[in-house]
């Protein structure tokens, strides 16, 4: 589904990401973890066209999308959420999904589009909030709306950048169920997250970054047992 080949991103003399190789298979949940500043979000920003790479290639279904603008990346089938919630606060919940739709003209109203929006709101448990302004939602609801908005664009691959940040235990459990349901629907998910119980509980593979370099990759149990990972992020076992 996605191939990241020798990807580097330097900001001046700082190597935020350095020669990272990573492949994402279709219909899998891949966890991407690492300490703060390890390069996780930088990779997401480069892959989705927010930043151009310093070197390396990005391929989506064998199509070279290196350096594409974000709107082209989304149209090609890859969507993302953000660490910091970025909703249209002055628009209603329904309108936030409407502007995100993959359509020739989002100004054109049609029954099929409305039905898709309603189904997405139902999936994210926001149907009863559809007429509320996004800025008036609770924090957990705003997180769900951000997920709903990217789903409205109908991507096949979703990059979720710390979607559990700031959530309580019940909200994280609900998020877990949403992600697993997306996999059942045929979606591919890259989960960038600090919440280890969530990642290790649902990811089929986990890749670990440290100082912009990939230091481990494999099944969750193997990654947890990797000495380099314990030193860099998970902590030594006593």
Query: What is the tens place of the pLDDT at every residue in 161-204?
Result: 999 998 999 999 999 999 999 999 999 999 999 999 999 999 99
Average pLDDT over residues 8-32: 95
Q: What's the CATH class of domain 1-77+158-238? A: alpha beta
Query: What pLDDT is stored for residue 19 in this prediction?
Result: 97
Query: Residue 190 is inside which H or E element, if any?
Result: strand 188-192
Average pLDDT over residues 59-81: 95
> Which residues of the chain form CATH 3.40.50.300?
1-77+158-238
pLDDT at 54 over 50: yes
DSSP state of 36: T
pLDDT at 238 over 80: no
Query: Residue 167 is inside which H or E element, if any?
Result: none
* pLDDT, averaged across the chain: 92
Confidence of residue 59 (pLDDT cuts 50, 70, 90): very high
- Asked if 154 contacts 183 with a C-beta cutoff of 8 angstroms, the reply is no
pLDDT at 106 over 50: yes
Share of the chain above pLDDT 90, in %: 80
Model confidence, pTM: 0.91
Q: Among 7-21, 39-53, 220-234, where is mean pLDDT lowest?
A: 220-234
- Asked if 135 contacts 167 with a C-beta cutoff of 8 angstroms, the reply is no
pLDDT at 107 over 60: no
Query: What pLDDT is stored for residue 103 in this prediction?
Result: 53
Query: What pLDDT is stored for residue 62 in this prediction?
Result: 87
Terminal-residue alpha carbon distance, the chain = 39
Average pLDDT over residues 67-85: 93
Spatial CA neighbour of 117 closest among 148, 142, 88, 87: 148
């Amino acid at each position: 589904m996605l191939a990241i080949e020798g990807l580097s991103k330097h900001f001046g003399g700082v190597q935020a990401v350095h020669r990272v190789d990573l492949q994402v298979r279709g219909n899998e949940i891949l966890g991407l973890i690492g300490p703060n500043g390890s390069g996780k979000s930088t990779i997401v920003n480069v892959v989705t066209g927010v930043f151009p790479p310093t070197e390396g290639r990005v391929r989506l279904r064998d199509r070279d999308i290196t350096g594409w603008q974000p709107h082209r990346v989304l149209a090609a089938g890859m969507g993302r959420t953000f660490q910091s919630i970025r909703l249209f606060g002055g628009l209603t919940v329904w309108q936030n999904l409407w502007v995100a739709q993959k359509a020739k003209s989002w100004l054109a109203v049609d029954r099929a589009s409305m039905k898709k929006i309603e189904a997405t709101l139902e999936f994210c448990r926001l149907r009863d909030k559809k007429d509320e302004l996004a800025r008036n939602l609770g924090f957990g609801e705003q997180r769900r709306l951000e997920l709903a908005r990217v789903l409205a664009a109908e991507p096949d691959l979703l990059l979720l950048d710390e979607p559990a940040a700031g959530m309580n235990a019940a909200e994280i459990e609900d998020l877990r169920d949403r992600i697993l349901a997306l996999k059942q629907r045929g979606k591919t998910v890259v989960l960038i997250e600090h919440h280890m119980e969530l990642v290790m509980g649902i990811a089929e593979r986990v890749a670990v970054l440290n100082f912009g370099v990939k230091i481990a990759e494999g099944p969750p149990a193997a990654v947890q047992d990797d000495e380099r990972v314990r030193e860099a992020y998970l902590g030594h076992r006593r």
